[in-house]
């Protein structure tokens, strides 16, 4: 074998290896995201979780020039989809649209939960928020929280409060309210919000905490009376309704919120890109207009704020769950 042939073969081999490695090197050097991103939603299509995810997926796609595709994985109080996301490859290409129920209530309800919201996920950012609203039937002789408390305390047997089911955020809001106000209120669970609201409007139950989007039409139509919103500040959708805190209920700041999470170990570079893009999306007129249909507001809050929110709310709801002896069916 001549030296000339050896050199030629060596050059050929080097070229072959380089050509095989070139696509990998190219992909490694591409900025994130370099391919489509999956956004897992833990509930069925059409709900607030799903719609919020689709609003932001569309805006992220526009900003980052890659498809962000929503994938619904409902089941088991959000556990099915959240577990799937937690066990996904931490490469930035599977994200989770998380909410208060899955990330802060489930850990207190299920001792053997298949995921840990703080250990198995990296927070990216909060994207939408809305207060709950305390509503009563117009037949009830109360017009504010103070009158409700006085009315409840005048009833030896107490009053009743409805919810769409045990362990739901609306149930726990009612439990926290009774503890903060010292009233005796008996929980009446329903299978969903619609039957609970129907019985509330007919006067068969006394009060209920509800999400704004499902109650605001009944409030504006005088079929329900709003006594308070649950957030620290008034809602722009019900500006004349005071907060519970304004009416003397201490430490009562509850909101329904949605945030993006990634599996733990996702590269910091990807988290940084996503946090910045979500903040940009939240500032758009499209986000505000489309979230307004659910009486929600866009939020710009980074991953540190989301982590703190999850930690704080986990501790609060665990305390309520234990005190109220809440059990799921």
Half-sphere exposure for 92 (CA within 13 Å, toward CB): 16
Cα 28 from chain centroid (whole Å):
33
Confidence (pLDDT) at 11: 44
Query: How confident is the model over 232-256, as a mean pLDDT?
Result: 97
pTM: 0.88
**Which tokens in the block code for residue 262?**
């990634």
Residue with tokens 């700041």: 253
Residues 47, 48, 54: CA angle, nearest 5 degrees: 90
CATH number of this structure's domain 37-129+255-324: 3.40.190.150
Mean pLDDT of the chain: 92
Domain ranges of the chain: 37-129+255-324, 131-229
Query: How confident is the model over 281-287, as a mean pLDDT?
Result: 97
CATH number of this structure's domain 131-229: 3.40.190.10
Q: Are 97 and 39 in contact (CB under 8 A)?
A: yes
CB-based burial label for 211 (10 Å; 0-12, 13-18, 19+): buried
Fold agreement (37-129+255-324, 131-229): yes
pLDDT tops 80 at residue 178: yes
Identify the band that residue 29 occupies on the pLDDT scale cut at 50, 70 and 90: low
Percent of the chain with pLDDT over 90: 88
């Amino acid at each position: 074998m001549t030296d000339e042939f050896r050199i030629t073969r060596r050059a050929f081999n080097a070229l072959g290896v380089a050509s095989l490695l070139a696509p990998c090197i190219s992909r490694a050097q591409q900025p994130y995201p370099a391919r489509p991103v999956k956004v897992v939603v833990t509930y069925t299509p059409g709900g607030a979780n799903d719609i919020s995810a689709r609003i932001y997926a569309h805006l992220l796609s526009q900003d980052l020039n890659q498809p962000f595709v929503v994938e619904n994985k409902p089941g088991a109080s959000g556990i099915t989809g959240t577990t799937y996301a937690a066990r996904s490859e931490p490469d930035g290409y599977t994200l989770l649209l998380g909410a208060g129920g899955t990330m802060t209530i489930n850990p207190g309800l299920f001792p053997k939960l298949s995921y840990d919201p703080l250990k198995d996920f990296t927070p990216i950012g909060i994207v939408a928020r809305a207060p709950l609203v305390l509503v009563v039937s117009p037949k009830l002789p109360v017009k504010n929280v103070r009158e409700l408390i006085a009315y409840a305390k005048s009833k030896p047997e107490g009053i009743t409060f409805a919810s769409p089911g045990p362990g739901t955020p609306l149930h726990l809001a009612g439990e926290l309210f009774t503890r903060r106000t010292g009233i005796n209120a008996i929980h009446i669970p329903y299978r969903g919000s619609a039957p609970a609201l129907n019985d509330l409007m007919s006067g068969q139950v006394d009060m209920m905490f509800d999400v704004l989007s499902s109650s605001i039409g009944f409030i504006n139509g005088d079929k329900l009376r709003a006594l308070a919103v649950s957030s620290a500040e008034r809602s722009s959708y019900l500006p004349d309704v005071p907060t519970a805190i304004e009416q003397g209920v201490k430490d009562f700041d509850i909101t329904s919120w949605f945030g993006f999470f990634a599996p733990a170990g996702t590269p910091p570079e990807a988290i940084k890109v996503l946090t910045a893009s979500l903040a940009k999306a939240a500032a758009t007129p499209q986000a505000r207009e489309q979230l307004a249909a659910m009486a929600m507001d866009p939020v710009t809050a980074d991953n540190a704020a989301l982590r703190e929110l999850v930690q704080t709310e986990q501790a609060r709801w665990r305390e309520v769950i234990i005190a109220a002896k809440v059990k799921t069916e």
